[in-house]
């Protein structure tokens, strides 16, 4: 079994393509090409953006659907989006988990992972194809690890396959999870039109700690241009502020870490009941 935080991404990509082919008749050559280009772009090569016509078209399709008032969630079912999930795992989530493992992330406590202790249950929100979920299981082998995802999609089928290999489960509804000690949410809440209302559902799991990386203000496939807060529409920037206020109101304290740009944010429950 591969070490997901140590194995070279090129080798992991070929295994990812094999898993894709096992659960769906996707075009693995297309996914390989897009995944490689997207990874290079996310690492800072802006010139690659010009050659990523498919991604630009898909992003336009998404934002056109928002403008028409009918979010087109079919964008999540494309080969391109599978490739983007892979690239985001490689560039963002993988590095975030490495940072959490490092003693330098929280020096006074031996690192964030050590500070978390031995969580009984870890929940990975919006687990995509399950790579972050599998890595969390490798980081915390004694913990029960659960990923959440939309049911009966190619990405969720890949995640279920990964779960059988690495020892975690995938559910399509938070209500199927009795509670959580630790919640991981990377680039998740910005895909939800009512993120604060959904945050309340997440906090009802009563996690002791949450690791969250939001990007409400960025433009990407699946991100909304504005967000619902009760009956009011707010900008991405305001959604971020309301999110932080809701976390504090829910009894969580944001811990200052040595992670780059303090991402993912490390929140610890301080005992105040969520309102």
Alpha carbon distances (Å) from 37 to 25, 52, 53, 186, 217: 22, 7, 11, 21, 23
Inter-residue contact 22 to 164 (CB < 8 Å): no
| Residue 2: inside a domain | no
| Residue 217: inside a domain | yes
* pLDDT (0 to 100) of residue 271: 62
Q: How far apart are CA 245 and CA 62, in angstroms?
A: 29
Neighbouring CB atoms inside 10 A of 252's CB total: 25
The range of the structural domain enclosing residue 192 comes to 9-269
| Residue 211: inside a domain | yes
Inter-residue contact 227 to 80 (CB < 8 Å): no
160-200 tens-digit pLDDT: 999 999 999 999 999 999 899 999 999 999 999 999 999 99
Mean pLDDT of the chain: 91
Confidence of residue 1 (pLDDT cuts 50, 70, 90): confident
Tell how far CA 1 is from the center of its chain: 23
225-268 tens-digit pLDDT: 999 998 899 999 999 999 999 999 999 999 999 999 889 999 99
| Residue 97: inside a domain | yes
186: which 2 tokens?
A: 């990377």
Confidence of residue 46 (pLDDT cuts 50, 70, 90): low
221 has pLDDT over 70: yes
Strands 252-255 and 232-235: unpaired
* pLDDT (0 to 100) of residue 127: 96
| Residue 42: inside a domain | yes
Q: How far apart are CA 78 and CA 87, in angstroms?
A: 15
Q: How far apart are CA 30 and CA 249, in angstroms?
A: 46
| Residue 248: inside a domain | yes
| Residue 199: inside a domain | yes
* pLDDT (0 to 100) of residue 272: 44
Inter-residue contact 151 to 93 (CB < 8 Å): no
The mean pLDDT of 88-116, rounded to a whole number, is 95
Inter-residue contact 3 to 138 (CB < 8 Å): yes
What is the CATH classification number for the domain harbouring 106? Answer: 3.40.50.150
Confidence of residue 151 (pLDDT cuts 50, 70, 90): confident
What's the total number of domains in the chain? 1
Query: How many helices (DSSP H) and strands (DSSP E) are in the chain?
Result: 10, 9
Q: How far apart are CA 170 and CA 153, in angstroms?
A: 12
The mean pLDDT of 21-28, rounded to a whole number, is 90
The mean pLDDT of 16-45, rounded to a whole number, is 87
| Residue 3: inside a domain | no
């Amino acid at each position: 079994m591969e070490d997901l935080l140590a194995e070279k991404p090129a080798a992991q990509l070929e295994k990812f393509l094999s898993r894709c082919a096992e659960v769906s008749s996707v075009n693995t050559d297309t996914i390989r090409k897009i995944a490689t280009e997207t990874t290079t772009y996310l690492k800072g090569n802006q010139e690659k953006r010009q050659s990523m016509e498919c991604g630009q078209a898909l992003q336009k399709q998404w934002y056109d659907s928002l403008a028409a008032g009918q979010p087109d969630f079919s964008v999540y079912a494309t080969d391109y989006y599978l490739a983007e999930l892979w690239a985001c795992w490689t560039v963002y989530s993988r590095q975030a988990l490495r940072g959490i493992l490092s003693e330098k992330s929280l020096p006074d406590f031996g690192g964030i992972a050590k500070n978390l202790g031995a969580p009984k249950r870890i929940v990975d929100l919006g687990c995509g194809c399950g790579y972050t979920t599998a890595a969390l299981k490798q980081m915390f082998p004694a913990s029960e690890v659960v990923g959440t995802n939309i049911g009966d999609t190619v990405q969720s089928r890949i995640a279920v396959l990964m779960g059988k290999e690495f020892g975690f489960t995938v559910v399509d509804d938070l209500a199927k999870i009795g509670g959580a000690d630790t919640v991981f949410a990377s680039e998740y809440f910005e895909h939800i039109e009512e993120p604060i209302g959904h945050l309340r559902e997440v906090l009802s799991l009563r996690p002791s700690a949450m690791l969250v990386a939001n990007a409400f203000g960025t433009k990407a496939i699946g991100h909304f241009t504005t967000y619902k807060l009760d009956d009011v529409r707010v900008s991405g920037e305001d959604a971020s502020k309301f999110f932080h206020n809701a976390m504090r109101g829910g009894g969580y304290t944001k811990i200052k870490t040595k992670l780059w740009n303090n991402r993912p944010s490390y929140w610890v429950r301080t005992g105040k009941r969520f309102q």
